[in-house]
């Protein structure tokens, strides 16, 4: 029977980042269990993408994987333009608005999920301290006094000192160990696709708030291609999916006020429901949840993946004994003791749950602000956006939040220039 220090169920972006971060800072052994092995990139971009902020870029850079990511397909943006379809309010964020020593080269990057995962997977396979279990899914979990047991059906079981669930929003690990969640249906579905924009995206990420929800245009690696995330009511999503390509192009072009020229559909139109989830606790016995297994938020600010990557960096820092004095935890001199130290694990849970709860509240406030309202409310909203756009201190604060420079950052995510 093989034994590991940490077993990670879920080999997506967050789980693989955790594995590499643990190995970067220690000699702990890691097992990654996931039957979905990476697929080769195709000529057409994947319709699921992530907006990677500066803090996440720092994590990937310190894990020596950033150059592998951007060496495939990635697109930076230096501007963000946000406007209200129902009013006249607008916000413009530019890289020039970022001042101080922590000024990155870009506001952010739009990268296909497959590109990020493939680069992380390849890097992890090169580490002799990381073992992959891909033939069979984990069939059962047993938590003992000193170990966690994981069985695979016909394969030999393995044991670990700690189990991490990084297996997504519908986490199997979370259900197996009965870790309850708080959830709320956003009553929105997200339409995702690749589109072509006649006037190109101009190094800008665009977002318009429509009466039914936000529509984002995220720049891809070709100058006229964008990935869209259109959050709208289930009924409107069904109607839009039923349109032919010509009719859809007409509607989405009108939705953008023609700011990107004529917009045409270049891929299938994916659709998935949106729900807020927050695990009531991120730690139970020798099991920890991170990423979407612990929390999901509305995609209107593109921060879901970044939140999960910070979970991974924070947990690796906690487990490897890199807890700083201001975090208020006493770290064992034997690094392996941290894997089952309830005080340290609970401290990690408080740290990351507070960040997740704050982000959930912020997304809810923005969503409510742009729900269909009376004309006087739209007027006040428009005035507020315009004032904010011209008030430098507040605007700079929002930009720093978008970059990920907020809260208590793990060491891997801190900007060093």
Residue 307 has pLDDT above 60, yes or no: yes
Q: How confident is the model at residue 325 (pLDDT cuts 50, 70, 90)?
A: very low
Residues 83-92 have pLDDT tens digits of: 888 776 788 8
Residue 107 has pLDDT above 80, yes or no: yes
Q: Which helix (H) or strand (E) holds 358?
A: helix 342-369
Residue 331 has pLDDT above 90, yes or no: no
Cα–Cα distances in Å, from 63 out to 28, 56, 127, 149, 154?
Answer: 16, 11, 12, 29, 35
18 in Cβ contact with 26 (< 8 Å): no
Q: Which helix (H) or strand (E) holds 252?
A: helix 245-255
Q: How confident is the model at residue 241 (pLDDT cuts 50, 70, 90)?
A: very high
In 302-412, beta strands by DSSP E: none
CATH 1.10.510.10 at 2-73+106-183+275-376+383-413, yes or no: no
Average pLDDT of the residues in 312-326: 76
What is the three-class DSSP state of 119? helix
The single-letter DSSP state of residue 185 is E
Q: How confident is the model at residue 386 (pLDDT cuts 50, 70, 90)?
A: low
pTM score over 0.95: no
Sign of the CA dihedral with 94 first, then 96, 97, and 101 last: positive
Residues 60, 47: Cα–Cα separation, whole Å = 22
Report phi then psi at 329, rounded to 5.
-120, 145
Q: What percent of the chain has pLDDT over 90?
A: 67
Residues 257, 215: Cα–Cα separation, whole Å = 12
Domain ranges for the chain: 2-73+106-183+275-376+383-413
Residue 8 has pLDDT above 90, yes or no: yes
Average pLDDT of the residues in 117-143: 96
Take residue 353 and report the two structure tokens written for it. 């749950």
Residue 82 has pLDDT above 80, yes or no: yes
């Amino acid at each position: 029977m093989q034994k590991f220090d940490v077993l990670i169920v879920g080999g997506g972006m967050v789980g693989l980042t955790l594995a590499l971060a643990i190995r970067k800072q220690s000699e702990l052994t890691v097992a990654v269990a996931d039957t979905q092995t990476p697929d080769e990139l195709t000529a057409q971009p994947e319709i699921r993408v992530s907006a990677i902020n500066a803090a996440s870029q720092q994590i990937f850079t310190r894990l020596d994987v950033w150059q592998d990511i951007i060496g495939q397909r990635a697109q930076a943006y230096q501007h963000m333009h946000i406007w209200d379809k129902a009013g006249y309010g607008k916000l413009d964020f530019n890289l020039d608005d970022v001042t101080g020593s922590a000024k990155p080269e870009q506001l952010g990057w739009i990268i296909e999920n497959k590109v990020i995962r493939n680069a992380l997977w390849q890097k992890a396979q090169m580490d002799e301290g990381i073992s992959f279990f891909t033939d069979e899914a984990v069939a059962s979990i047993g938590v003992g006094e000193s170990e966690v047991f994981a069985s695979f059906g016909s394969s030999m079981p393995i044991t670990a000192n700690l189990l991490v669930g990084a297996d997504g929003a519908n986490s199997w690990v979370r259900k197996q160990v009965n870790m309850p969640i708080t959830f709320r249906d956003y009553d929105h579905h997200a339409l995702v696709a690749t589109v072509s924009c006649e006037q190109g995206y101009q190094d800008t990420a665009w977002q318009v708030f429509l009466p039914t929800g936000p529509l984002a245009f995220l720049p891809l690696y070709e100058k006229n291609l964008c990935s869209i995330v259109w959050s709208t009511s289930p009924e409107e999503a069904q109607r839009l999916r039923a349109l032919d390509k010509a009719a859809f192009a007409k509607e989405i072009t009108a939705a953008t006020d023609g700011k990107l020229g004529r917009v045409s559909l270049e891929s299938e139109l994916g659709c998935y429901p949106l729900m807020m989830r927050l695990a009531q606790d991120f730690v139970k016995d020798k099991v920890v949840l991170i990423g979407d297994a612990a929390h999901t938020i509305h995609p209107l600010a593109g921060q879901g993946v970044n939140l999960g990557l910070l979970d991974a960096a924070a947990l690796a820092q906690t487990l490897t004994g890199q807890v700083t004095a201001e975090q208020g935890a006493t770290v064992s001199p034997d690094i392996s003791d941290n894997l089952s130290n309830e005080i340290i694990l609970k401290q990690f849970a408080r740290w990351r749950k507070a960040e997740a709860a704050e982000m959930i509240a912020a997304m809810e406030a923005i969503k409510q602000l742009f729900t269909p309202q009376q004309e006087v409310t739209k007027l006040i909203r428009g005035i507020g956006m315009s004032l904010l756009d011209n008030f430098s201190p507040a605007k700079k604060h929002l930009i720093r939040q978008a970059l990920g420079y907020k809260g208590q950052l793990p060491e891997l995510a801190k900007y060093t220039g």
